[in-house]
Amino acid sequence: MTRTTESGTAGGGLCAGRVVAVTGAGRGLGRAHALAYAAEGAKVVVNDLGVGLDGTPAPDSPAAHVVRAIRESGGSATAHTGDIATSQGAASLVATAVDTFGRLDTLVNNAGFLRDRMLVNLGEDDWDAVVRVHLKGHFLPLKHAAAYWRAEAKAGRTVAARIVNTSSGAGLLGSVGQGNYSAAKAGILGLTLVAAAELGRYGVQVNAIAPAARTRMTEAAFADTMTAPEGGTFDAMAPENVSPLVVWLGSGAPSDGVTGCVFEVEGGRVTVMEGWRPGPTADKAERWTPAGAGGAVRELLGRTAAPGAVYGAS
């Protein structure tokens, strides 16, 4: 394919000269990330399939609106409307970055939608659709971007690549009525850890965020905060609050050495999430009886910190 360059110039900033692809960047968090990267000098590939909250086609092209906003601010951006939950769409996302801007430095996996049901009412199609977009929609862009960066590294070119995945508190703790979403978001955490371990040798760092912000997907959860406060009051639920961390994680040298981490971010709060690790242990050095194992578990639980509550649990 012929390489072309989009209009606009990247200014200075934390990500000056970097090329960033953001999936699901037409609205909400993805839009905020794309604009924030552009403000820090990055050239941005704005991916959005242009569908509604439930994944059905929408009448407009939100990606084009974001590209226009970036260019009007003097930045460089191009739209990608492919389905990143397909191998062809994910490959074309990477190709769009390379063919338009000459390289790809950062991938932000953000795309997703909801089909909420209690488990006994959750249909197989709704399970498959949500897992496909969230989990497969992370895996395939990650795979194709990683293949590109591995080839660059093997060709002797320096790689300082970054991947930022998007999980959720639902993936960390679970969320009532969101079994499909919680499972997919938990899977993204596992994928992040494996990718960080596998891709470090090629100069790729991989991290994940668990954001809380006001978007189309969180209208029900944050119904009482849907109207931004007036005056000088800090709007803790604005999606723009999440983007500074995402931009920093996707930058080059400033984020060197930070990989395999999960960060919960909401408003002005950033928390490093500590994953599964051994807690209290009982070792009998021989086989337990069922009653003995149960007694040991009861005793161990008494010495264990209580886990966070599942979202929505009474």
Catalytic residues: 168, 181, 185
What string of DSSP letters covers the chain?
A: ------S----SSTTTT-EEEETTTTSHHHHHHHHHHHHTT-EEEEE---B-TTS-B-SS-HHHHHHHHHHHTT--EEEE-S-TTSHHHHHHHHHHHHHHHS---EEE--------B-GGG--HHHHHHHHIIIIIHHHHHHHHHHHHHHHHHHTT----EEEEEE--HHHHH-BTTBHHHHHHHHHHHHHHHHHHHHHGGGTEEEEEEEEE--SGGGTTTTGGG-SPPPTT---TT-GGGTHHHHHHHTSSGGGTT--S-EEEEETTEEEEPP-----S----SSPPPHHHHHHHHHHHHTTSPPPPPPBT--
Residue with tokens 């090629």: 202
